[in-house]
Amino acid sequence: MFSSRVPRELALNQLSTAITAHRASGRRLIDLTVTNPTAVGIRYDPDLLAPLCGVEGLTYSPEPLGMRSARRAVAADYARRGISVAEDRIVLTASTSEAYSLLFKLLCAPGGDHVLVPQPSYPLFDHLARLDGVKWRPYALEYHRRWAVDDQSVDAAWTDRTRAVLAVSPNNPTGSTLSAEDFDLLDRRCAQREAALIVDEVFADYPFEPVPAPPPARAAAALTFRLGGLSKSAGLPQVKLGWMMIDGPDALARAALDRLELICDTYLSVSSPVQAAASALMERGGGIRQQIQSRIRVNLDQLRAAVTRDPSVELLNGDGGWSAVLRVPSTETEEALVIHLLEHHETLVHPGFFFDFPHEAFLVLSLLPPPAVFAEGVGRVVEHVRG
């Protein structure tokens, strides 16, 4: 079994060089890493963004937490998912990334305070934390037929400078959602130790299987921030509107909202036209969301069928999102495997080390490519691994 890895940054640089060279050669590329819904054949009506031209957007009326009408639209979108939210517990942002930055400013002192971040996960949080002068420490997601939070790693990472715990549900790329047990674990830790819980739910609209309506949510014991945005929920990454919903004890939530109002008033980053159009965009985005849901499930079915025919490849169980994870034999480094697939099979996939998987060998595939392209790329991956 191959177990050693070159340094992560060096491997990423080598992979980036190989991708650049392949693109420059003009050869065909089957890209199984693409996660831009506007670039994978999803149909967007030409007038989809017409609500941005409404007359309401011509008036600038700065409201730090967001226009009341837009916050009401977000509350209605939560209601669509069976979640009751008061509009005055919602704060608008230009993106989920900005929401993280605002929360780091709210919760952490630069230079010493830190947040706990799940691994494996998308390599964004460490960069966002560093940009705000905040440190980060990893806690583990462990896989035993399903992903779960490793409570011992949470405790091992915790110090007296821990100010928040990040969780992603569904996680990118594992597709795992926080179980009730995992949420209770993190909620209790944060409440007992006076830290906040940040739950990124941008992929919540994309379960792999149809799910029944959720039971009434239990109020969080800790100060909790749930993040979402149009980028994923309506397949509109080009329309910059995100939000956070504040949960937890009333006194803590009100104090956080008061401080957030000052921070948001300093930036006022959310544009008036997108706020005025929020309700209409969410309604129109439903058709985009349905197309993405269908695409994900079709491709996932194809992937399941492909790996069933080859016992050397395992599709790890997930609950939702836009990605799937394959575990393959560790006969070569992930870097060598991905570069070989690129150079000899014209197929691009993500290596596991990109998402901080703890060991070899994992491949991460986007479920968004057109089904015919996806099937061909998966066939080439499985063929190479079998060989």
Angle at 244 between CA 289 and CA 211, to 5 degrees: 40
- Residues 338 and 351: beta-carbon distance below 8 Å: yes
**Residue 3: band (very low, low, confident or very high) from pLDDT cuts 50, 70, 90:** very low
- Residues 114 and 164: beta-carbon distance below 8 Å: no
Residue 243 has pLDDT above 50, yes or no: yes
Here the tokens at position 133 are 């002068």
CATH number of 8-43+286-386: 3.90.1150.10
Hey, is 174 helix, strand or coil? Answer: coil
Q: Name the residue among 344, 312, 347 with its Cα closest to residue 330.
A: 312
For 96-132, write each residue's pLDDT tens digit: 999 999 999 999 999 999 999 999 999 889 899 999 9
Residue-averaged pLDDT of the chain: 93
- The label of the residue with tokens 């039971």 reads 215
What is 50-284's CATH number, 3.40.190.10, 3.40.50.1820, 3.40.640.10, 3.10.20.440? 3.40.640.10
Please state, in angstroms and rounded to a whole number, the distance separating the CA atoms of residues 346 and 358: 27
For 56-76, write each residue's pLDDT tens digit: 999 998 999 999 999 999 999
- Residues 123 and 354: beta-carbon distance below 8 Å: yes
Residue 2 has pLDDT above 70, yes or no: no
Here the tokens at position 278 are 């929020």
Q: What is the pLDDT of residue 330?
A: 86
Please state, in angstroms and rounded to a whole number, the distance separating the CA atoms of residues 326 and 310: 12
Instruction: Look up residue 9 and give its amino acid.
Output: E
pLDDT over 90 for what percent of the chain? 84
Beta strands in the chain (DSSP E): 30-31, 90-93, 114-119, 135-143, 147-149, 162-168, 196-200, 224-229, 242-247, 314-315, 323-327, 347-348, 350-351, 362-366
More confident residue, 26 or 290: 290
Q: What is the pLDDT of residue 5?
A: 55
Hey, is 351 helix, strand or coil? Answer: strand
- The label of the residue with tokens 């491997």 reads 11
Q: What is the pLDDT of residue 77?
A: 96
Here the tokens at position 262 are 């000052």
Q: Domain limits of the chain?
A: 8-43+286-386, 50-284
Residue 7 has pLDDT above 80, yes or no: no
- Residues 263 and 106: beta-carbon distance below 8 Å: yes
8-43+286-386 and 50-284 share one CATH topology? no
Residue 217 has pLDDT above 80, yes or no: no
**Residue 1: band (very low, low, confident or very high) from pLDDT cuts 50, 70, 90:** very low
Strand partners, 148: 142
Q: What is the pLDDT of residue 346?
A: 94
